[in-house]
Every structure is written in C-alpha cells, then in structure tokens.
Amino acid sequence: MSITPSSDYIIPKLKAETIVSLIKKGVRASGRGLEDFRELGIVTNYIPNADGSAFVKLGNTQVIAGVKLELGTPYPDTPNEGAIVVSAEFVPTASPLFEPGPPDENAIELARVIDRSLREIKAIDLGKLVLIPGKRVWVVWIDIYVLDHDGNLIDASSIATLAALLTARVPKAEVEGEEIRVDKSEYTGPLPMNRKVVTVTIGKIDKIMLVDPDIEEETVLDTKLVIAVSDDERIAGLQKSGMGALDKNEVLKMTELAMKKGKEIIEVVEKSIETSTREASAEQATRKLREDSEDTGMKGENEEETSQ
C-alpha cells in the first residue's frame, strides 16, 4: 500500500521560503543556474569483483552501480535473448530516513524506471548474450546502491548504470553440448551495447523548471518529471514522480530541456570512460615496465578517477 509520506526530509520553513524566492529569481541557493547539474564525478571499475561497475558522485549524492553477468534461463517470450534485472537498494548509510529492510516504493520505482529506460530501446544487445538458444543465456544483473542521499537519486543512479554497463565485460564461457564452463578470470569482450541512455529529472516549482534538484530543493518542488533520453535523441521513458501536477506545455518544455541536458550528460560519461581507460592502459604500461625492471611481484587492481 502506498501512503502519503509522513516522515519526509524536513528543512526549516525560512530556508524553504528562501530557496523558493531565489528560484523565482532564476538563481539557486547553491549558486547554480537553473539548467546546471552539480559537479559530477565518475569512477569506473570501482568494484573489482563486479563485471562492470561505477561510482558516481553528483554533488553530495553518492551511488554505486554494479553489473554482474550470471548464467540463467531466458524468459519464455524471448528465448533468444539474454535478460536484464535491475534492483536498487537505499542503504541505511544514505539518509536518516532510510531503514534496513526490503526496498520500499521509492527504491522499487527507481529501479523500474531505470529498467524501462534500458529495456524497450534495447540499450543492451541482448541477442548477443545467448549461450544455448532457448536454454542458457547471460542474465545482466544491475544493482544500484545508494550510499548517500542529497537529492536526484534517479539521475545519479542512471549515470552510474550507464558508466557501469559501458565498462562491463562478458566473462569467458565455453559451451560443450549442454555444459557451460564459466571462467571469470578471463573476459571475451565488452558487454554489447546498442544505445546509450540517461535519465534527466526536471523539477517544477510554480512555472519554473530546474534540473538536478538537490535534497533541499526536492522538498519545495511541486513535482518532477523523469525523462529518459537516448543518444539518438529519442525519449526512451517517462515518469512523473511526486504529488503535484503539470500542464501540457510544461511537459513539452521539460522534455525539450531534458533532450538537451541528456546529450550533455552522455558526452560527459563517454569522456570520463575514455580518460579512465587511457589512464588505466598507461598505468598498466608503467606497471609492466616497472615489473620488468624490478620484478617486485606486487600486483593490485587500480581504480581510475575522473571528474567533470
């Protein structure tokens, strides 16, 4: 059962009024413009044991997305495709309002919105994840872990998911008849992707639209619209989230703004992956040189950090 929240994040009335009056003048308490995202940091390959992962810091919101590929059976209606499962955990570290336990409606909504943004547009090339047609396929488990909540969890999670998917690799699997041997120490290649998708959440207060609301802004918003934007400039999903209402022109203005911002965010994700891959290979080369000359025998996985 869904209940009107009675324990929402609370900010002093005076502060809320200030945030609103500033927004009406076109400025934000943080000094950001209405169409500016907060500073975005992306660390890929953050979890060595995952097949793909990314840590995303959007302002003070922190999220990890982990991708694991496991053997499974295909859905009966798509026997020749791999499967995707998206789950989200709002970890109790993230907010005084989060309690341990099964995912609540907000976590379920977040996971399902991200799932839909990837599924219908076929962001992942699931046709290439079949090992034995109709019987054994790769299941792509996407687990979103919200570590610290400072607003706009959906966009932070969607960016982390995209970065994790783009850096994910398919483990080596040998098929012998009905037998499959998986060797996770080796990979056959990157996870096959068709499209890149991110969500852009646009908040509305009075007649004013703003992107990437922080947690304090979220408390004063009338409502928000989550728009999934693909790299071929189509709308890959929508979700009005929150109690308020929107008129038609507002919706059209929001989708237009989201298309623009989505393109920018996808470019940032691409660039940060490029830089970290380059740095990783440079690192690898130096390490090899060092090992060759010193033969220290020290080995360790390295994480590469990039910032916008």
Partner 1 sequence: MVSKEEKPKLIRDDGLRHDGRRPDELRPIKMQVGVLKNANGSALVEYGKTRVLAAVYGPREPQPKHISLPYRAILRCRYHMAPFSTHERKSPAPTRREIELSKVIREALEPIVISEMFPRASIDIYIEVLNADGGTRTTSITAASLALADAGIPVRDLVTGVAVGKVDGVIVLDIDEVEDMYGEADMPVAAAPSLGKITLLQLNGVLTPGEFEEALDLAMRGIQEIYKIQREVLKTKYLKVKVEE
What is the binding site for partner 1 (CB under 8 A)? Answer: 1-4, 6, 76-79, 105-106, 108-109, 111-112, 116, 120-121, 225, 230, 233-248, 251-252, 255-256, 259
Q: Which is nearer to partner 1, 169 or 240 (CB)?
A: 240
- Burial string for 211-230 (b: 16+ CB within 10 Å, else e) reads bbbbbbbbbbbbbbbbbbbb
| 222 Cβ neighbours under 8 A, 6+ residues apart | 204, 205, 206, 242, 244, 245
Tokens of 62: 């922190």
Between β-strands 61-72 and 130-132, what pairing exists: parallel, antiparallel or unpaired?
unpaired
Return left, alpha or beta for 131; rule: phi > 0 is left, psi -120 to 50 is alpha, else beta: alpha
Q: Which is nearer to partner 1, 9 or 187 (CB)?
A: 9
Q: Which is nearer to partner 1, 43 or 142 (CB)?
A: 142
Q: Which is nearer to partner 1, 8 or 39 (CB)?
A: 8
Instruction: Please give the C-alpha separations between residue 296 and each of 282, 286, 301, in angstroms, as whole numbers.
Output: 19, 13, 15
Tell me the closest approach of the beta carbon of residue 247 to partner 1, in angstroms: 5
Tokens of 151: 């607003």
Tell me the closest approach of the beta carbon of residue 58 to partner 1, in angstroms: 23
Tell me the closest approach of the beta carbon of residue 237 to partner 1, in angstroms: 5
Q: Which is nearer to partner 1, 172 or 240 (CB)?
A: 240
Tell me the closest approach of the beta carbon of residue 71 to partner 1, in angstroms: 22
Give the 3-state secondary structure of residue 282. Answer: helix
Closest CA to 159 of 149, 170, 174, 144: 144
Query: What DSSP designation does 179 have?
Result: E
Tell me the closest approach of the beta carbon of residue 251 to partner 1, in angstroms: 6
Q: Which is nearer to partner 1, 67 or 236 (CB)?
A: 236
Tell me the closest approach of the beta carbon of residue 246 to partner 1, in angstroms: 5
- Residue whose structure tokens are 């298309």: 259
Q: Which is nearer to partner 1, 11 or 22 (CB)?
A: 11
Tell me the closest approach of the beta carbon of residue 206 to partner 1, in angstroms: 14
DSSP string, 83-94: EEEEEEEE-TTS
CA pair distance 198, 48, nearest whole angstrom = 24
